[in-house]
Structure 1
Amino acid sequence: MKKIFTLIALACMGYACTPGATPPIASQIGATNYTPGRVVWHDLASPNPEASAAFYESVFGWTTVPYGEDEKMVWIFKKEDKPVALMAYYQTENNSGEWIGAISVPDVSASTQKAKNQGAKVLKKAMEVDNRGTISFIQDPQGAHISLVKLANGDPEPTLAEINTFLGQELWSNDTDDSESFYSNVVGYTSEETDNQKVPYTIFKMGDLNCAGMLKNPAPTVRSHWVPYLRVADLSETIAKATRAGGKVLIEPNPEIRNGNVALLMDPTGAPLAVQVYNP
């Protein structure tokens, strides 16, 4: 899996369609302040970027903008004119895709070293990436992939996600106690247990800010994963679009799970993602 992160990182530094230009991520999504602990960016590692682009364009109405060429090619997903994610090509033995969230931290090198001290594998050490900031990629002790980032111009404002953009991130952990200890030490989270779910559920917090969720992995034979959530307006319509575009429904809406407002999908390359109707 190390190849995933190497390609994403190196591709971001490659030549773009305009000589000398790289994807203007930081300047288009960052504010002036930082909100450590929040997942502030998402990367899609895809073995078939053409299929991935077609899927996310069809389901969420995104546009796909290419940058670079050959092995340094990357694609920026945009909703209207705002970047929402980056995609890079990779290929592994199981030939499946994966979404990788980026957690904001004040010092990427220091947090990466803490992660290593806590048993994580450092898949790509902290590096400076033009028009993005400083980023590293790790695999936590339970096998979940995540990146640590300090964006160049500050983090996006912590406002409610727009429709068809990322709503949040959830860790499906094979050992929730170990994961809680790990992310507390590495990121600085405090944890809050909630009783409004049908299963034990943990909220990772920084001060009063809810940053991410965690639950026991419902598929214990599969390594731990961070699962991204996208906010949608209509769950049935989104599921229909996803299946027509070649995706699969892994978990159907169920009244016992968040009042039937959530479904777990898999895109055509095998990357899991959750979609949710969320109107607080």
Structure 2
Amino acid sequence: MKKILTLIFIACLGYACTPGATPPIASQIGESTYTPGRVVWHDLASPDPEASSAFYESVFGWTTVPYGDGNKKVWVFKQGDKPVALMAYYKTENGSGEWIGAISVPSVSEATAKAKTQGAKIVKKAMEVDNRGTISFLQDPQGASISLIKLNNGDPEPGLAEMNTFLGQELWTNDVSQSTNFYKEVVGYSTEEIDNQKVPYTIFKMGDMNCAGMLQSPAPDVRSHWVPYIRVANLDETISKAKNAGAKVLIEPSPDIRNGSVALLMDPTGAPLAVQVYNP
């Protein structure tokens, strides 16, 4: 199991998803109000945007819309007319891709400065991005890549994710205590321990709102990692599509893991993601 799970984690990023063009994201997903603590946006750092586009279009039915040109080109993934993520070209030391979730905060500059005092590596300091908002990129003290964001037009409205969109984020950390303290200080989370799981599990909360999950990483010899979840209608069909499109299945569905409703994949560029059937 440890050998399999080790494949989930990829080498430390030496970049951030700084867009070179300004697609109109904020105006298309914002709802005028803010929900600090939620993961409200996702960026894909891809070493091969063409392969990434083909994969996510084939598996989830997304369309890929390019903006800009040359080395300033970025792509927006859409489901129908609604943006779900942005992709930019970046090459890591080992050539792997990575999804980076963006946590909504009231002040990106203040939260980023606080993150630095708490031991984070600031990859890109707070910056204004037209048609998007203010965003920074960092690695927490355990090496997990995350971004902090304040969208110009407010956060997307809270609610159950539509099919083939992002359902949530989960932090696999090498040090639960340190990660708990870090995200409490930087984001303002409270935590709730869940005792009905096979392994100890923590929920990051803002008031009564569940924002993300956290568990002890089963692969302590590699850095911590945030794993995105995408909601799907049929797990077997999704896995079959993913395999046909070049993905690896790192963890197959198992009755011991959320009643067989989840699988962990690695896309063709090496970016890990989970897919889950979730019908509360």
Question: TM-score, normalised to structure 2's length?
Answer: 0.95
Indicate the RMSD between aligned Cα atoms, in angstroms. 0.8
* Cα deviations by residue, 1:212-243 (Å, 9 ceiling, x for unpaired): 00001122222100000000000000000000
Q: Distance in 2 between matches of 1:261 and 1:181?
A: 30
Q: Distance in 2 between matches of 1:2 and 1:172?
A: 17
> What is the CA-CA distance between 1:103 and the residue it aligns to?
0.1
Alignment pair present for 1:270 and 2:270: yes
> What is the CA-CA distance between 1:4 and the residue it aligns to?
2.6
4+ runs deviating over 4 angstroms: none
The answer to whether the 8 A contact 1:133-1:150 is kept is yes
Q: Distance in 1 between matches of 2:62 and 2:216?
A: 32
Match in the other structure for 1:18: none
1:143-162 equivalence runs, <5 A: 143-162=143-162
* Cα deviations by residue, 1:34-66 (Å, 9 ceiling, x for unpaired): 000000000000000000000000000000000
1:231-270 equivalence runs, <5 A: 231-270=231-270
Q: Matched residue of 2:15: which SS?
A: helix
Q: Matched residue of 1:170: which SS?
A: strand
Q: Which amino acid aligns with 1:181?
A: N
Alignment pair present for 1:9 and 2:11: no
1:217-236 equivalence runs, <5 A: 217-236=217-236
Q: Which amino acid aligns with 1:37?
A: G
The answer to whether the 8 A contact 2:99-2:271 is kept is yes
Aligned length: 269
> What is the CA-CA distance between 1:183 and the residue it aligns to?
0.1
The answer for unaligned runs of 5 or more in structure 1 is 15-21
* Higher RCO, 1 vs 2 (CA within 8 Å, ≥6 residues apart): 2
Q: Which amino acid aligns with 2:166?
A: F
Q: Distance in 1 between matches of 2:202 and 2:18?
A: 31
Q: Distance in 2 between matches of 1:255 and 1:91?
A: 37
Match in the other structure for 2:7: none
Q: Which amino acid aligns with 1:56?
A: Y
Alignment pair present for 1:163 and 2:168: no
The answer to whether the 8 A contact 2:171-2:214 is kept is yes
Match in the other structure for 1:113: 113
The answer to whether the 8 A contact 1:31-1:157 is kept is yes
Q: Which amino acid aligns with 2:110?
A: A
Q: Distance in 2 between matches of 1:2 and 1:263?
A: 25
Q: Which amino acid aligns with 1:67?
A: Y
1:57-68 equivalence runs, <5 A: 57-68=57-68
Match in the other structure for 1:186: 186
Q: Matched residue of 1:178: which SS?
A: helix
Match in the other structure for 2:53: 53
> What is the CA-CA distance between 1:2 and the residue it aligns to?
5.6
Q: Distance in 2 between matches of 1:138 and 1:211?
A: 19
Match in the other structure for 2:136: 136
Q: Which amino acid aligns with 1:9?
A: T
Q: Matched residue of 1:164: which SS?
A: coil
Q: Which amino acid aligns with 1:83?
A: P
Match in the other structure for 1:30: 30
Q: Distance in 1 between matches of 2:264 and 2:13?
A: 26
* Cα deviations by residue, 1:242-276 (Å, 9 ceiling, x for unpaired): 00000000000010110000000000000000000
Q: Distance in 2 between matches of 1:267 and 1:221?
A: 22
* Cα deviations by residue, 1:52-102 (Å, 9 ceiling, x for unpaired): 000000000000000000110000000011000000001122000000000
The answer to whether the 8 A contact 2:15-2:123 is kept is no
Q: Which amino acid aligns with 1:134?
A: T
Q: Distance in 2 between matches of 1:152 and 1:51?
A: 31
Q: Distance in 1 between matches of 2:219 and 2:181?
A: 21
The answer for unaligned runs of 5 or more in structure 2 is 1-11
Match in the other structure for 1:101: 101
The answer to whether the 8 A contact 2:123-2:137 is kept is yes
The answer to whether the 8 A contact 2:133-2:152 is kept is yes
The answer to whether the 8 A contact 1:3-1:90 is kept is no
Q: Distance in 1 between matches of 2:234 and 2:15?
A: 32
